Structure 1
Amino acid sequence: MLIVFLGAPGAGKGTQAKTLAAEKNLTHLATGDLLRAEVAAGSELGLAAKAFMDRGDLVPDDVMIGMIQGRLESPRSDGILLDGFPRTVAQAQALDDALSAADTSVDRSIYFEVSEDELVRRLAGRSTCPDCQRAYHDTFNPPQNADKCDDCDEGLIRREDDKPEAVRNRLKVYETQTTPVLDHYRNAGKLVQVDGEQSIDAVQSDLAAAVG
């Protein structure tokens, strides 16, 4: 099984991907997390991607495709859930080609629909503990003590690409470069749209119906 999650930054893909991956025994490949890990490690890939990520721009296709293709070869599970990839038509086509060579294909592409106003509200309020990686939100999940992690008392940080100006740029980039990917999967008869502004449980229910 190969599932693709599509949606703007902040649409809730990561939250739902972790649950679905556990339920279906899928390898969850979250490209944002993978890239940030490369940046933290100071790898060649991370250095190439960092400047783009800090501006909220898409990482170039060749970098993303190379990273993902290497992880498609040995999922060690019942399938793969791609979270945040593909983000351009070129990436979608490259993914199709790689899967076709392995005599398989994307089973379902699920798009999380969320309004721009809601996306900005969600993204601009996020912060993370640099030590234990616990995530917080000013509105939905605030820390007990301002700007301090509840678990390890480390000072919380806000990612550069979650600051308001970068959020607006990310959404603009998403609309112009990623939206055509929806047509790619819609034309293939594999696109399912889910209302990402529902409760977490309601979204999970819709996903269960979509995946089967």
Structure 2
Amino acid sequence: MGTVVDAANKEASGIVTDKKPTVVFVLGGPGSGKGTQCANIVQHFGYTHLSAGDLLRAEIKSGSENGTMIQNMIKEGKIVPSEVTIKLLQQAIQESANDKFLIDGFPRNEENRAAFENVTKIEPAFVLFFDCSEEEMERRLLSRDQGREDDNIETIRKRFKVFLESSLPVIEYYNSKGKVRKIDAGRPVEEVFESVQAIFSPKNEKAD
């Protein structure tokens, strides 16, 4: 299989303007604390945090033709095509002066994952998976005061179901390649970050 990867890498250097970024996918259910830990990783390890949702929202706000199309799809309850999200991620990677990226909340499903690797020719260095019980995520979401209208019990449970059905196959795929770093995200923020640091600090790479 090495030859396929080598070919993909050669091709990638042409596409991504000679940039060979380090990409870490960050996955976890709603309320697993991904956002907080991504902010810590950015601060301590110099990564650039790319949120697929934020990029889509920014594109909508820009009023571009692409943004209008995305907005209409979301309004109609349709899923934005993988290619659209991937193009925005790819653009953000190419325009950044950095070469280390956390991609948060993407890929959401197997189709996203396959399309991302296919289009960008980038394979993630690893997947950071924040594993948290549904009870704990539910408790966190209901207690946060951010006034998000999707933080009610029915919607929360629906979001859990979508996460389990869509994202777990992605985690299983990368797990089979030895690329998943699972973190017990049900603990206090500081303890979770200690585990995160152990993964990102090269000298502690073996510590878990």
TM superposition score normalised by structure 1: 0.73
The equivalences for 1:163-182 within 5 A come to: 163-182=152-171
| Letter of the 2:143 counterpart | G
Among 135, 138, 144, the alignment partner of 1:126 is 144
The equivalences for 1:24-35 within 5 A come to: 24-35=45-56
Q: Structure 1 stretch 65-74 or stretch 41-50: which is displaced more? A: 41-50
Q: Structure 1 stretch 33-42 or stretch 62-71: which is displaced more? A: 33-42
| Letter of the 1:82 counterpart | I
Name structure 2 gaps, 5 residues minimum. Answer: 1-21, 202-208
Question: C-alpha separation between the residues in 1 aligned to 2:139 and 2:77?
Answer: 16
Q: Which residue of 1 aligns with 2:131?
A: 113
Say which structure is richer in helix: 2
Question: C-alpha separation between the residues in 1 aligned to 2:120 and 2:167?
Answer: 20
Question: C-alpha separation between the residues in 2 aligned to 1:118 and 1:57?
Answer: 29
How many residue pairs align between the two structures?
A: 180
Q: Which residue of 1 aligns with 2:97?
A: 76
Deviation at 1:74, TM superposition (A): 2.8
Deviation at 1:35, TM superposition (A): 3.0
Q: Which residue of 2 aligns with 1:207?
A: 196
8 Å Cα contact 1:182-1:191 kept in structure 2 = yes
Question: C-alpha separation between the residues in 1 aligned to 2:78 and 2:148?
Answer: 14
Question: C-alpha separation between the residues in 1 aligned to 2:185 and 2:76?
Answer: 25
Question: C-alpha separation between the residues in 2 aligned to 1:55 and 1:159?
Answer: 20
8 Å Cα contact 1:112-1:194 kept in structure 2 = yes
Q: Which residue of 1 aligns with 2:19?
A: none
Do the aligned partners of residues 125 and 37 (structure 1) sit closer, same or farther apart at CA in structure 2, a change above 3 Å counting? farther
> Percent same amino acid among aligned pairs?
34
Give the 3-state SS of the residue equivalent to 1:106 in structure 2.
Answer: coil
Question: C-alpha separation between the residues in 2 aligned to 1:111 and 1:46?
Answer: 30
8 Å Cα contact 2:82-2:115 kept in structure 1 = no
Name structure 1 gaps, 5 residues minimum. Answer: 129-157
TM superposition score normalised by structure 2: 0.74
What root-mean-square deviation, in Å, do the aligned CA atoms of Structure 1 and Structure 2 show?
Answer: 2.6
